[in-house]
Amino acid sequence: MSLPHMYADLQGKLTDRGVWSSVQGRLAARSRVTNLGVVMMTFALVVSLMLNMRHTTRIVHVPVAQSSGVECPERFGNVRSVLPVLPGYGKIKLTHLVIVAGHAVWKGNPSASITDENNWLLEEYQRNGSVNTFLQHIETGLGIAANDSASLLVFSGGQTREHAWLSEAESYLRLALHLSSNLPKWPQSALAATKSKSAFQPLFSDDATLTAAASTSLSAKSSDSTPNLSHLRMTSENFALDSFENLLFSIARFREYTGTYPEKVTIVGYKFKEKRFRDLHARALRWPMHKPATDGTSRFTYIGIDDANRTKSLERDNAYDLFLQDLYGCHHRLLEKRRKRNSARRLPPYTSTASEMAGLLDWCPADNSALQGLYPFWLPWDPRVNTGMGRGAQLIMEQNGGHIQQEEILPDGKKIVT
């Protein structure tokens, strides 16, 4: 059959009823699909599904320095490389986390009285007595940390006030520097390699508004009042928005600051919140409450100090029942309270700087799950990590590439081991 050379010839061929009848007949004819045909169609379907799933999966590429051919260091290694070596590294191991939970913001005005409520950003219910309690919390935390050379004092509290330019923790830390000379310092043996002076006096030590306890301690101090914060075992945690985050984020901050996790925790706060911390917050973190630390002391201690004029009607912990049903504070009223306190729109960095806790930091079980919603996966302070393991567990760990196996519960209720 010769090919058409003119458009009219091509048009004629396409409109030829005989040609179309032949094509239609072939399409409508019966045929038997062979096994080879089924296999080929199945293969094509699988390849198509894989390609579509590949495009819907988020893929994170590790950057490589193409110019030199050297890969980037281990995860977060370059970020953490800017941290200086701790003064007592290799000599003094920090194992004790002391937490002072923040409840308000001190404005930091040295010319005004510390106890003057106008120098604080307070809630209405915190007036007429709470400021003195805040000072007792700070001084108690300072005393505990100063008497334990293995401790790190962490003031915890975010930027919870709309009119505050500081976090609660930062204001407490500055107030501690202003108040007391009994600060937790590194021992001189740990500071032998440094050239800077270790003396430290409270800031604004000539201020007549200092408390009586702080004023009497100034006579024994040297004339050098230059602060050297690198010589102090104290820091701030600037993101916590409630009591649960005070505990959770302070542990993460300890990891960020020291590179390790604490063996024991001491919390200084309100007495009426002790039951909440012990029964709910520590349990939500699966903290080993009843197992002693390596030095034989308790791994969890709570020191409660309430307002002197607190009435019985105010001693009820209104948040206890809320946390009982919502252990991680990620639903309804507790979530709204966090949002209200976070007008500065801050997000903590601990999923990166304390990456072993990343799953816990983002954990949010179903609403009203209560104790059924406990975080089920591995945590750095699990007993099987901090203590010796049996030979069988060690063998399983070796077979799993040096990792402890974890169970993951799928939406359909099935369990898989990772």
pLDDT of 416 > 80? The answer is: no
- 411 pLDDT band (50/70/90 cuts)? low
Average the pLDDT over 110-124 and give the result. Answer: 86
107 in the same domain as 140: yes
- 40 pLDDT band (50/70/90 cuts)? confident
For residue 120, the cross-strand partners are 106
CA pair distance 358, 354, nearest whole angstrom: 7
- The answer to the question of residue 121 being in a domain is yes
**φ and ψ at 225, to 5 degrees?**
-110, 15
Better-predicted residue by pLDDT, 407 or 129: 129
- The answer to the question of residue 109 being in a domain is yes
295-330 burial, b at 16+ Cβ within 10 Å, e below that, comes to eeeebbebbebbbeeeeeeeeebebeebbeebbbbb
201 in the same domain as 172: yes
396 in the same domain as 283: no
Average the pLDDT over 189-205 and give the result. Answer: 56
- The answer to the question of residue 32 being in a domain is no
pLDDT of residue 318: 82
- The answer to the question of residue 404 being in a domain is yes
Average the pLDDT over 292-309 and give the result. Answer: 90
Cα–Cα nearest to 237, from 185, 170, 302, 284: 170
Average the pLDDT over 236-245 and give the result. Answer: 97
pLDDT of residue 262: 95
pLDDT of residue 67: 39
Q: What's the domain range around 392?
A: 388-418
> Mutual orientation of helices 130-146 and 168-179 as an angle, nearest 10°?
70
pLDDT of 215 > 60? The answer is: no
Top mean-pLDDT range of 53-67, 177-191, 339-353: 339-353
pLDDT of 92 > 60? The answer is: yes
Cα–Cα nearest to 310, from 266, 268, 273: 273
395 in the same domain as 282: no
pLDDT of 37 > 90? The answer is: no
pLDDT of residue 2: 54
DSSP per position, 360-378:
HHT----TT-GGGG---S-
327 in the same domain as 229: yes
Overall number of domains in the chain? 2
CA pair distance 43, 37, nearest whole angstrom: 10
409 in the same domain as 344: no
CA pair distance 160, 261, nearest whole angstrom: 27
3-state SS class at 314: helix
Better-predicted residue by pLDDT, 231 or 146: 146
300 in the same domain as 176: yes
Cβ atoms of residues 235 and 206 within 8 Å: no
CA pair distance 363, 337, nearest whole angstrom: 18
Better-predicted residue by pLDDT, 372 or 50: 372
357 in the same domain as 402: no
pLDDT of residue 133: 95
> What does pLDDT average to over the chain?
77
Q: Each residue of 269-284: pLDDT tens digit?
A: 999 999 999 999 999 9
277 in the same domain as 149: yes
- The answer to the question of residue 10 being in a domain is no
- 66 pLDDT band (50/70/90 cuts)? very low
- The answer to the question of residue 98 being in a domain is yes
Top mean-pLDDT range of 38-42, 93-97, 196-200, 211-215: 93-97
262 in the same domain as 114: yes
Q: Each residue of 310-361: pLDDT tens digit?
A: 654 455 678 999 999 999 999 999 999 999 999 999 999 999 999 999 999 9
Top mean-pLDDT range of 22-26, 49-53, 227-231, 296-300: 296-300
CA pair distance 237, 240, nearest whole angstrom: 7
- The answer to the question of residue 81 being in a domain is no
Considering only 26-30, 114-118, 391-395, 410-414, which range has the smallest mean pLDDT?
A: 391-395
pLDDT of 174 > 60? The answer is: yes
Cβ atoms of residues 260 and 152 within 8 Å: no
404 in the same domain as 320: no
Average the pLDDT over 100-127 and give the result. Answer: 88
Which pair of structure tokens corresponds to residue 270?
């309100």
220 in the same domain as 159: yes
CA pair distance 376, 372, nearest whole angstrom: 10
- The answer to the question of residue 11 being in a domain is no
DSSP per position, 153-201:
EEEE-----TT-SS-HHHHHHHHHHHH-S---B--GGGGTT--S-----
- 152 pLDDT band (50/70/90 cuts)? very high
